[in-house]
Every structure is written in structure tokens, then in C-alpha cells.
């Protein structure tokens, strides 16, 4: 054996053969774990493997080959397309100029402008109540709703709107047997859970995207709106998706798709059902909405760190309405509200939803941090 390997040429051939065998083995192992590779079906599989018996491949999380398609088949008919028309005002700066009027006469070119928009929503009741975003229908002179399987669009009316929470309830008259979606509990959803988004991005009806719940209680600012308790997902959300549902694997709504991070890919946001439910309950039952009388914003990260508050928790009082329940209770700008009736406040949106989930006249128990000290405050909620 020693004489055989002593030959330099033979020794080189042995080394090259061994290296080739190692490289080939690594390549086959990698291929076997690639999606679509022959070994891919076994990776992370906890259930039966597909075979001649017709069993479905099931992952460790229970996501079968037909899970998403089945969810879409059940829920998609309740997702609607919302088209709006917003009449803009005349350009008063130019229209009021006498020189321009003298030059153009009655053919003045700076007239009213018409803006058209497309969004999404979903049916909450068989008789045509639809939940969507406030920014989808805000200021619209015409709201048209297209229901899957119907030959025509329906004129809709805005029933209730909430600017601060970016929620709206609209109504169509399209019979009493419309498909509906069920509201789930976003508080029970965990980061890493699979989620499904359905909507009309860029007007493309009933587009389905899939991802995971990337984070919870995200603070986000979009234009003049400040959101503080959003769900984050990497399921693609694009313009036109606003107002559509974010679903869990049970086909339940856990969020309303609202915004997309334009600076990066794979970052979308949804309003959690924990924020939606109290407001929706009041709208449907036509109850008066409770009112505290504070202007709120998120707690700056530096302030939160100094108060040992986790990111996204608490609501900063930016202003107090004179004569309001908040003013009568002694709340002041700069106060940070951390708890409401014993529950942790996860940002301004969460606090607003908790307030509006109460009845007017109820006594709210607040935990407030003022000048670094924690104190309890009681306020009798008003009505608006």
C-alpha cells in the first residue's frame, strides 16, 4: 500500500477522487433540501408524506398543500372592491386673480379636479355592512362596491368613520344573503404565524399574498396619521390593498391591511382586531361613543427609555380639550398614560379603542406617569 501511494501521480488521483466524492455528496445533500428537490417533502414534516395513498404533506405547523387555497376559497367571496370619486375644489388662488379672469374669460382652465381611488373592504354582515379604512372613503362623493359574483357594482353610503383609528363602516343594499368574514383575536396571534392578505392592489381584483406575522404593536406615521399598534407582516401589501383583511389560518380576520413601508420590501402593516372590535361594536349597536378629551401621540423612544417603558407602550398626552373629562380629571400635556382600567396601553390607537369601547358615564381608571412619578387618575367619560 505504501508503495502504491508513494507514486506522486497515483496519490494525486486518489486525492482528486476523494475531493470529487465529497463535493458531489454536498451537492446532492443541498439539492435534497431545496424546495422542489426530491428530499424537500421530508424537511420539517411531522405528518404523513404524500404518496400513492393520496395523503397530504403537512408541515410541523400544520400548513398543508391545500391550506391556503382552501382559506381563499372560503373567504375571498366576502372581500370587496371599493372605487371612490373625490371632487377637488377649484384652485382659489388662481381663480381669484382678476388678471387671469380677464385673460381667460369664461374659459378659465383652473376648474375643479376629480380624483379616483381604489381600495378594498370586507363584508361584516349578510345585509351589506362593510368594514374598510377611513382613508379609502374619506371625502368621497361617490363610493362604488363590487361584490364577487355580482354583475354590477353597488352604490355605497358611509355609515360611520373614525379618523384617528382609520376605520370606516359603509353599507350597500345588495340583498340579505351576502358572504361574511369572522373577526378573530389578534391578541392570540403570535409573531411567526402564517397570514394571508386579500385585496385589490392597483385594481387587480382579489389578489392573494401570503406571509408571516413579522411583529406586533408597531408605531407608524403615514402622512398626518399616527398609528401606534399595528401588526407588521411580510405578506405583500400594495396600494389598493387598504381596507382588505389580514387572515389567520383559520380564515379569521386578525387585521385590516392599512399601509406599506415604501422604503423597503416585505414590510406591510394592518390594524389589529383588538383595536377594531370595540369601535365596531359601538357602530353596529348605535351606541354613543365615549369621550375622554385628550390629543394623543406615541411616546418618543428617548422618553420611553427614561421611563423604562417597552417600545410602543404608553400614550403621550399632547393636548387636553378644555372642559373635557380629561381636563376635569387633572390630566395635563406631557402626561404618559400607561394603563387603562388595569390593562396595558399599547400606544395611542390602543388607548383610543379602549376608551371608545366603554359607555359614556363610566369611570375610567388611568395610570399616569408625570415628572417621572406614577399616579392614579380617575375620569368620568363623556359622550360625543
Looking at the annotation, which residues are catalytic? 135, 166, 242
Q: What is the 3-state secondary structure (H, E, C) of the chain?
A: CHHHHHCHHHHHHHHHHHHHHHHHHHHHHHHHCCCCCCCHHHCCECCCCCCCCCCCCEECCCCECCHHHHHHHHHHHHEEEEEEEEECCCCHHHHCCHHHHHHHHHHCCCCCCEEEEEEEEEECCCCCEEEECHHHHCCCCEEEEECCCCCCCEEEEEEEEECCCCEEEEEECCCCCCCCCCECCHHHCCCCCEEEEEECHHHCCCEEEEEEEEEEEEEEEECCEEEEEEEEECCCCCCCCCCCEEECCCCCEEEEEEEECCCCCCCEEEEEHHHHHHHHHHHHHCCCCEECCEEEECCCHHHHHHCCCCCCCCEEEEEECCCCHHHHHCCCCCCEEEEECCEECCCHHHHHHHHHCCCCCCEEEEEEEECCEEEEEEEECEEC
Amino acid at each position: 500500500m505504501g508503495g502504491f501511494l508513494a507514486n506522486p501521480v497515483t496519490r494525486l488521483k486518489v486525492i482528486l477522487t476523494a475531493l470529487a466524492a465529497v463535493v458531489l455528496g454536498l451537492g446532492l445533500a443541498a439539492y435534497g433540501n431545496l424546495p422542489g428537490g426530491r428530499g424537500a417533502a421530508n424537511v420539517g414534516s411531522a405528518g404523513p408524506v404524500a404518496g400513492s395513498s393520496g395523503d397530504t404533506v403537512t408541515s410541523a405547523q400544520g400548513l398543508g398543500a391545500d391550506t391556503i387555497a382552501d382559506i381563499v376559497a372560503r373567504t375571498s367571496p366576502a372581500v370587496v372592491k371599493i372605487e371612490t370619486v373625490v371632487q377637488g375644489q377649484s384652485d382659489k388662488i388662481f381663480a381669484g386673480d382678476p388678471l387671469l379672469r380677464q385673460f381667460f374669460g369664461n374659459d378659465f382652465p383652473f376648474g375643479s379636479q376629480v380624483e379616483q381611488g381604489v381600495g378594498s373592504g370586507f363584508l361584516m354582515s349578510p345585509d351589506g355592512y362593510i368594514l374598510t379604512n377611513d382613508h379609502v372613503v374619506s371625502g368621497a362623493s361617490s363610493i362604488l362596491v363590487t361584490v364577487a359574483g355580482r354583475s354590477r357594482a353597488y352604490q355605497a353610503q358611509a355609515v360611520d368613520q373614525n379618523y384617528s383609528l382609520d376605520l370606516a363602516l359603509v353599507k350597500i343594499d345588495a340583498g340579505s344573503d351576502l358572504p361574511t368574514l369572522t373577526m378573530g383575536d389578534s391578541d392570540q396571534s403570535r409573531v411567526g404565524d402564517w397570514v394571508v392578505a386579500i385585496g385589490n392592489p392597483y385594481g387587480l381584483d382579489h389578489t392573494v399574498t401570503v406571509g408571516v406575522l413579522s411583529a406586533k404593536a408597531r408605531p407608524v406615521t403615514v402622512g398626518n396619521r399616527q398609528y401606534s399598534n399595528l401588526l407588521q407582516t411580510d405578506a405583500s401589501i400594495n396600494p389598493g390593498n387598504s381596507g382588505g383583511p389580514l387572515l389567520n389560518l383559520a380564515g379569521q380576520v386578525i387585521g385590516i391591511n392599512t399601509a406599506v413601508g415604501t422604503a423597503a420590501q416585505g414590510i406591510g402593516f394592518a390594524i389589529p382586531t383588538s383595536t377594531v372590535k370595540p369601535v365596531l361594536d359601538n357602530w353596529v349597536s348605535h351606541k354613543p361613543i365615549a369621550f375622554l378629551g385628550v390629543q394623543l401621540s406615541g411616546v418618543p423612544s428617548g422618553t420611553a427609555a427614561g421611563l423604562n417603558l417597552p417600545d410602543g407602550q404608553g400614550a403621550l398626552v399632547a393636548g387636553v380639550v378644555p372642559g373635557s373629562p380629561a381636563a376635569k380629571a387633572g390630566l395635563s400635556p406631557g402626561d404618559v398614560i400607561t394603563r387603562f382600567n388595569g390593562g396595558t396601553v399599547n400606544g395611542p390607537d390602543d388607548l383610543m379603542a379602549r376608551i371608545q369601547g366603554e359607555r359614556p358615564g363610566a369611570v375610567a381608571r388611568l395610570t399616569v406617569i408625570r415628572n417621572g412619578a406614577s399616579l392614579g387618575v380617575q375620569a368620568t367619560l363623556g359622550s360625543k
